[in-house]
Amino acid sequence: MSGDVGVQVHAVTVCRVERSIATIGVTEDDLVTGEAVALDLPHASIGLRILSRVIDLVVLQVAGGVVITLGGILASSFDDAVASAIMLITVVLVMVGYPVAMETLTRGRTIGKLAAGLRVVRDDAGPITFRHALTRGMVGILELNLLGGIPAVVSAVLSPRGKRLGDVAAGTYVIRERGRGAMPPPVPMPPHLAMWATNADFGKIPDGIAAAVRSFLPAAFSMDPVAREQRGRELLDEVMLSVSPPPPPGNHPEYVLAAVVAERRRRDYDRLMREAALRYRLAPQD
């Protein structure tokens, strides 16, 4: 039996990729696509974020100087209390309005981030909205402007994705758009399980479990054999709670897991193609 398992495992792990681009140890908190592929979008380094911040501060100095001057001219027409309120509002609008407006209009960029090749995205890698940008901007008043960025640096060092406090509050993080790593190649369908997978009923497999399976397959070759066997069976037990009927008996867990991942990918691809074709038919023709 051990000999058969060795041959089967080797066949499954032909799809292995370099560990530098494989997403190892994915949990439910990691980013997952509809194809159960855990994305490994590289988060921005602290150095790049400081660089983008410095550039944005230069922009703020120039643009803010103009706006504050205009606000001062307007405030001079009122008494001291009203003038102070106008100046305070003007400063807040400059410090918060610039990043919020830029990140909302450009889907996560400011001039500094554009220059540094950075973008703010949601935790699920989607584009941010006004709500996300506003939350980051409001928290940024405290951590960046009033406290000199020290809390932001500490938070970024401690966070796996380099999040500052504003990112934690908004559910966002900053990615490097330049030099992004390649996605792992798709897991191939084991030919002898293709018929079973095509006819199987797939329920809702939890995203964390699906991503863990997708990460386990290319990483399995480097695992301890005992741990590999145990992890494969644990994942199979979790997956089969959402799949019926069970696979033909006698198949190694890694074969079955590969079949599930490949079939889910095929179904997602077919669904996207159908939706694209429908939009094309319904769209007005020139």
Burial string for 75-97 (b: 16+ CB within 10 Å, else e) reads: beeeeeeebeebeeebeebbbbe
The pTM of the full predicted model, rounded to 2 decimals, is 0.50
**CA 163 – CA 133 distance, rounded (Å):** 14
Please provide residue 43's backbone torsions phi and psi, each rounded to the nearest 5 degrees: -75, 155
pLDDT (mean) for 104-115: 91
Q: Residues 177-212: pLDDT tens digits? A: 765 455 567 888 999 999 999 999 988 888 778 888
Q: pLDDT class for 125, splitting at 50, 70, 90?
A: confident
Check residues 244 and 16 and name the one with the higher pLDDT. 244
Q: Give the tokens for residue 253.
A: 């867990």
Position 222 confidence tier, pLDDT thresholds 50, 70, 90: confident
Of 5-14, 85-94, 171-180, 207-216, the poorest mean pLDDT is in: 5-14
For the chain, give the mean pLDDT.
79
Could you read off the pLDDT of 22-59 as tens digits, one per residue? 333 344 444 444 344 444 567 888 999 999 999 998 98
Range of lowest pLDDT (93-102, 132-141, 227-236): 93-102
pLDDT band at 278 (very low <50, low <70, confident <90, very high): confident
Domain limits, the chain? 2-40+183-282, 46-176
* pLDDT mean over 110-123: 91
pLDDT at 247 over 90: yes
Helix (H) or strand (E) holding 120: strand 118-122
- Give pLDDT, residue 210: 83
With beta carbons less than 8 A apart as the criterion, state whether 195 and 258 touch. Answer: no
Confidence check: pLDDT of 72 > 90: no
**Using an 8 Å Cβ cutoff, are 125 and 162 in contact?**
no
Strand partners, 33: none
